[in-house]
């Protein structure tokens, strides 16, 4: 049976920083018209889901916040399912904070009060936040990361990602994260599939990174598609061949994928 649910990465697939990737957006719209369901997964925890949904709507892709899963939602849900509602010290932006509140966690302002530390990308990171986070880690609080991508692609080149902040805390505490919620962990895919009556084997995962998108799809048993529009755009033909031998569908852009799925 032809998969009807497409799990689509955002950065490097739908847009690059502020700039939409037009050919991919057009193909996604056509796939929606053909009856494919789209669900978007991003390791970027900075914005609330509604922000991503609205941005997709502006591009003409029909989306609601329920069609978006961020690493912030995946981290918050995992913490709640594993420990219940927690007092959390967090390094992160609005998107992560909102997901923590949705799951009923309480945000505390001191690491010494925290029952868990949850770390995502924070573009207003300051030394004091690292100090409080280290206090939480020193007393043994679970160390949860939204993701460990060291960089984030933008149209002006890479910027430091959540992984760079996690590395600072690893160095300070001598601890590794206890849980990394985002891609390549299949957990975030499991979260995304809640609410769809679709088995993971009937799901296509579309992304621009081998170490996160493709890795997650292979681990979970979904069908991986690598699109050469974001980080993967600099891949050599040899690297592409190796991926194809692992049953990864490699496409230049989503117009190519649309052509192969359309009938
Ligand atoms: Mg990406």
Q: Quick: pLDDT tens for 87-97.
A: 999 999 999 99
pLDDT at position 154 over 80:
no
Tokens standing for 84? Answer: 């219940």
Cα torsion angle, 198, 221, 227, 251, sign: negative
Catalytic: which of 11, 149, 208, 213?
11
Domain 71-180 has CATH 3.40.50.1000: yes
DSSP one-letter code for 145: E
Q: Which of 9, 149, 208, 213 is catalytic?
A: 9
8 CA → ligand 1 middle, Å: 9
Judge whether 165 and 150 are in contact, CB under 8 Å: no
Q: What pTM does this model have?
A: 0.94
Mean pLDDT throughout 85-108? 98
Q: How far is the CA of 35 from the centre of ligand 1 (A)?
A: 24
Domains 5-43+183-261 and 71-180 in one fold? yes
122 counts as catalytic: no
Residue-wise pLDDT tens digits, 223-238: 999 999 977 888 899 9
The three-class DSSP label of residue 119 is: strand
- Annotated active-site residue 11? The verdict is yes
What does the pLDDT read at residue 141? 98
**Extents of the domains making up the chain:** 5-43+183-261, 71-180
Q: Which among 196, 190, 242, 236 is positioned nearest to 73, based on CA atoms?
A: 190
Using the mean position of ligand 1's atoms as its centre, give its distance from the Cα of residue 153 in Å: 8
Res 231: pLDDT: 78
Cα-to-centroid distance, 231 and ligand 1 (Å): 7
- Binned at pLDDT 50, 70 and 90, residue 2 comes out as low
The half-sphere exposure of 23 on its side-chain side, counting CA atoms within 13 A, is: 14
Q: How close is the Cα of 43 to the center of ligand 1, in Å?
A: 8
According to CATH, the superfamily of the domain at 5-43+183-261 is HAD superfamily/HAD-like (3.40.50.1000)
Cβ–Cβ < 8 Å for 27, 8: no
With bands split at pLDDT 50, 70 and 90, how would you rate the model's confidence at 201? very high
Where b means 16+ CB within 10 Å and e means fewer, 92-103 reads bbebbbbbbeeb
């Amino acid at each position: 049976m032809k998969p009807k649910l497409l799990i689509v990465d955002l950065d490097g697939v739908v847009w690059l920083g502020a700039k939409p990737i037009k050919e991919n957006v057009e193909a996604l719209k056509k796939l929606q018209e053909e009856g494919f369901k789209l669900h978007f997964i991003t390791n970027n925890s900075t914005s609330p889901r509604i922000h991503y949904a609205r941005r997709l709507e502006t591009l003409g892709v029909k989306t609601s916040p329920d069609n978006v899963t961020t690493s912030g939602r995946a981290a918050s849900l995992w913490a709640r399912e594993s420990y219940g509602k927690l007092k959390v010290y967090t390094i992160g932006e609005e998107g992560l904070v909102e997901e923590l509140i949705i799951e009923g966690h309480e945000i505390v302002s001191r690491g010494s009060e925290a029952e868990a530390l949850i770390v995502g990308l924070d573009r207003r990171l300051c030394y004091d936040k690292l100090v409080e986070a280290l206090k939480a880690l020193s007393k043994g609080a679970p160390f949860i990361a939204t993701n460990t991508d060291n960089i984030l692609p933008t149209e002006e080149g890479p910027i430091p990602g959540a992984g760079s902040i996690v590395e600072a805390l690893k160095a300070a505490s001598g601890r590794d994260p206890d849980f990394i919620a985002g891609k390549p962990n299949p957990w975030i895919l499991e979260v995304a599939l809640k609410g769809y009556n679709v088995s993971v084997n009937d799901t296509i995962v579309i992304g621009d990174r081998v170490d996160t998108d493709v890795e997650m799809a292979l681990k979970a048993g979904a069908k991986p598609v690598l699109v050469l529009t974001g980080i993967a755009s600099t891949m050599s033909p040899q690297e592409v061949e190796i991926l194809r031998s692992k049953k990864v569908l490699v496409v230049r852009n989503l117009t190519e994928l649309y052509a192969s799925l359309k009938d």
